[in-house]
Amino acid sequence: MPPEAAPLLYRELVRIAAHPDWRAREQVSALSTLLERLFFEATKQEQLAFSTLFARISYAGHQYQFQPDTLRVIHQFRRVAARVRAGQASATVRDVRLGVQAIAETVLIVCQTAIPTEVLEHLPAEGEWRFDPPDIWDFKARARVVAVRDEPEQECLIAYDDENPGQPVRVRYNLPDRNDSFTPTIRLLRTVFGFPVTLNLLEVDVDAQGHYRPRVFVVEPDYLVDVSAVSECFKADGAQPLAYLVKKFLPYESTPAMLLGNIANHFLDRLLNEPTAPFPDLLRETFRLYPFVYAPMKDTEVREISNKAQKHYLNLKMMAQSGLAQQQIEPENCVLEPTFYSEQYGLQGRLDLFYRTDTRAAIVELKSGSAYRPNSYGISRSHFTQTLLYDLLVRSVFGSATDPAKYILYSGADVQALRFAPTVAPEQWEALQVRNHLVGIERLLTRIRPGDLDVPLLQRLRADKSDSRDFLARDFGVFEAAYGKLSPLEKKYFNAFAGFIAREQWLAKVGEENSDALNGNAALWRSSFSEKQEAFAILSHLEIADNRADQPDPAIVFRKTEKTNPLANFRVGDIAVLYPADSEDDTVLDHQVIKCTIVELGPGQVAVQLRYRQFNLKPFATGSLWNLEPDMLDTGFAAMYRGLFEWASAETGVREWVMTIGLPRVNPTPNPSPKGEGDYIKHIGKDSVEQEKKIGSYDQPQMTTDAGRWKF
Read off the pLDDT of each residue in 208-228 and give the average, rounded to a whole number: 96
Compute the mean pLDDT over every residue in the chain, rounded to the nearest whole number: 87
Binning pLDDT at 50, 70 and 90, where does residue 85 land? confident
Asked if 538 contacts 565 with a C-beta cutoff of 8 angstroms, the reply is yes
Q: How far apart are CA 670 and CA 680, in angstroms?
A: 7
Considering the four listed CATH numbers 1.10.3080.10, 2.40.30.270, 3.30.360.10, 3.40.50.920, the one that applies to the domain covering 523-631 is 2.40.30.270
- Indicate the pTM of the whole model: 0.84
Euclidean distance between CA atoms 36 and 29, whole angstroms: 11
> Residue 351 in contact with residue 265, Cβ under 8 Å?
no
Q: How confident is the model at residue 689 (pLDDT cuts 50, 70, 90)?
A: very low
Distance CA 359, CA 108 (A): 39
Q: Express as a percent the part of the chain with pLDDT over 70.
A: 90
What average pLDDT does range 485-491 have in this prediction?
95
CB 626, CB 581: distance < 8 Å: yes
**pLDDT value of residue 404:** 95
Enumerate residues 6+ apart whose C-beta is below 8 A from 30: 16, 22
Q: How far is CA 193 from CA 171, 182, 199, 343, 436, in A?
A: 17, 15, 11, 19, 11
Least confident of 358-367, 389-398, 686-695: 686-695
> Which residues lie closer than 8 Å to 534 by C-beta, 6 or more apart?
none
Beta-bridge partner residues of 609:
555, 597
Give residue 45's pLDDT band: very low, low, confident or very high (50, 70, 90): confident
Average pLDDT for residues 555-574, to the nearest whole number? 95
Contact at 8 Å (CB) between 144 and 162? yes
Q: Which one of 4.10.60, 3.40.50, 1.10.3470, 2.40.50 gives the CATH number of domain 136-219? A: 2.40.50
Beta strands 225-226 and 347-350, pairing class: parallel
Is the confidence at residue 118, as pLDDT, over 80?
yes
The phi and psi torsions of 420 (rounded to 5 degrees) equal: -80, 140
CA distance 41 to 33: 12
Secondary structure class of 335 (helix, strand, coil):
strand
Domain 256-429 has CATH 3.90.320: yes
Examine the pLDDT at 691 and tell me if it is beyond 70: no
- The answer to whether the CB of 505 falls within 8 A of the CB of 224 is no
CB-CB neighbours of 460 under 10 Å = 13
Give the separation between CA 694 and CA 700, rounded to whole angstroms: 9
Q: How large is the average pLDDT for residues 461-475?
A: 76
Q: Where are the domains of the chain?
A: 5-120, 136-219, 256-429, 431-510, 523-631, 654-711
Q: What is the pLDDT of residue 623?
A: 83
What residues contact residue 204 under an 8 Å CB cut-off, 6+ apart?
139, 140, 141, 142, 143, 212, 213, 214, 215
3-class DSSP state of 361? strand
Name 593's bridge partners: 339
Residue 693 confidence (pLDDT) above 70: no
Residue (of 230, 199, 414) closest to 308 by Cα position: 414
Q: Residues with Cβ < 8 Å from 566, sequence gap 6 or more?
A: 560, 603
In tens, the pLDDT along 352-388 reads 999 999 889 999 999 998 898 898 899 999 999 999 9
